Structure 1
Amino acid sequence: MTDAVIAKDSAEHFWGRVRTALGALRPVRQERGPAYGQAAIARQIGMKPKLGARIEEELTRAWEASAEAGVSMSLLVIEIDRYREYFACYGKGATDDCVMTVMQTIADALPHDDDTCLRMGRATFVVALPDMPVLMARTLAQKISKAIRGQGLAHKESHAGTVTVSVGLAVTNPQGAFDRTFFEAGAQALKKAQRKGMGRLEVVDLRPAQEKRRKAA
C-alpha cells in the first residue's frame, strides 16, 4: 500500500496538485461489505500490508525526536466516515476531490510548518505529533473534526448530512527504537470511535502502563 503526504505549508496551488497527489497512489483492491473502514484498519493492525514507507519514516522520525528530548508523542489516525457509501453515491471524481479536501484541511490545522498529514489507503490519514501533550492533541483532533465539518461537503448517505471524520488518538513516552504497537494503539482507538458512531474521538494513553512496567522492573 502506498501513501501520500501533504505538509502544512503546501496550501498554495492546492487544486493544481490534486491530480499529481492522486497519481502517486497505486490502485488498491475494492473493499466489500459494510465494515469497509474497520476492515482496512484491521489489516493495518495485522501489519498486512505493511505501513507505507513514507508513514513508517515519519513515525520513526517523530518517535526518535520525542525519545531524544524525553517528551511525549501523540498520534492521530483519522478516517472519513461512511467513505464507501460516499463513493457509491457520488462517484470517483467527487470522491477524489473530497479526500484531497479533507487531507488539506487536516494539514492546514496542524500547528507546525513541518507537521505532515499522510494518507494511508483510500480514506485514512496519519499525523505524527512529536512533543505533543495529550490535552493539546485532543484539542487539535477536535479542531480538525470541526474544520472538516465546516467545509460543508455534502454527504446524503450520512445522517450528519456532511462529510465527517472519526479520530483515534494515542499518546506515549517513546523510548528506544520505534515500536509499531504504538500505531496499532491509535488504529484500535479509531475503530473504537467508529463503533460509537460518526465524528467521534477516542483517546488511548499508554503512559500509565509504561510507568507501571518501569516501576516493576
Structure 2
Amino acid sequence: MPAYGQAAIARTIGMKPKLGARIEEELVSGWNRAATQHVSLSLLVIEIDRFREYFTAYGKPATDATTGRVMQAIADALPRDGDLCLRMGRATFVIVLPDLPALMARATAKNITTAIRKAGLPHKDSHAGSITLSMGLAVGNPRGAYDKKFFEAAAEALKKAQRKGINRVESVDLRPAQEKKRKAA
C-alpha cells in the first residue's frame, strides 16, 4: 500500500519545495542504506503533466480521484514490495530507490509511464488526450551524511523534462562527480 506524504510545493519563484517529514525521512533512510551497503541510490521525482488545466477542466473531486489512481498506478509499477510512492503537494510524487542501479531505475520510469498509459485516464486539455507524467531521475553513490543536493538534482531533471514537453524522463547521473570528489579528498 502506498504511503502518503503531506507537503506543499513552493510555487513562488526562487523558493525550494518543502519535502515534508515523511519524504525527508525516506530520503535519509535510503541514503544511509545505500551508503552503508556501498550501492547506488536512485530517486524519481514525478509530476502529473498539465495538472492545473486538468483541475480547471474536471474540478476538485475528479482531480482528487484521478490523482489517487495515478498514485496507485505508480505504486503498482514499482519493482519491489518495500518501495513507496510518496505524495508531495498536489501533483508531485517522490520515489526513493536504494540499491537500484541506473538502468533498472530507467526501466522503472518506463514501467510507470506504461502503467499510466494503460490506466487510460482522460485529460481533454492535454494534446496527449490522457494523463501523462514527467519525471526527473537522479542516481548517485551515497557516502557520508545525506546531501540535499541529491533531491535538488532530481527536481532539476524534472524541470528539464517539463521544459521539453510532456511525458518525458530526464536523468542525471551524479556518480562520476561524486567519485571525482572522493578521489580529490
% identical equivalent positions: 63
What's the TM-score once normalised by structure 1's chain length?
A: 0.80
Secondary structure, counterpart of 1:116 in structure 2: coil
Identify the match of residue 211 of structure 1 among 150, 157, 179: 179
Equivalent residue letter for 1:115 = D
Structure-1 residue corresponding to 2:59? 91
Write out the 4+ residue segments of structure 1 that deviate beyond 3 Å after TM superposition. 37-43
- How far is the alpha carbon of 1:215 from its aligned partner? 2.2
- How far is the alpha carbon of 1:216 from its aligned partner? 2.2
Distance across 2 between alignment mates of 1:42 and 1:188: 13
Structure-2 residue corresponding to 1:18? none
Q: What does the per-residue CA deviation read over 1:83-126, in whole Å, with 9 as the maximum and x for residues that have no partner?
A: 00000000001000110001011111111111100000000000
Cα pair 1:38 1:191 within 8 Å, conserved: no
Equivalent residue letter for 1:138 = R
Matched, 1:118 2:86: yes
In structure 2, runs of 5+ residues without a counterpart are none
Structure-2 residue corresponding to 1:104? 72
Matched, 1:143 2:139: no
Alignment of 1:154-169 (within 5 A): 154-169=122-137
Distance across 1 between alignment mates of 2:44 and 2:147: 16
Structure-2 residue corresponding to 1:57? 25
- How far is the alpha carbon of 1:51 from its aligned partner? 1.4
RMSD of equivalent CA atoms: 2.1
- How far is the alpha carbon of 1:146 from its aligned partner? 1.3
Distance verdict in 2 for CA 1:42–1:84, change over 3 Å: farther
Q: What does the per-residue CA deviation read over 1:104-159, in whole Å, with 9 as the maximum and x for residues that have no partner?
A: 11111111111100000000000000001000000100110111111111101000
Equivalent residue letter for 1:52 = G
Matched, 1:6 2:2: yes
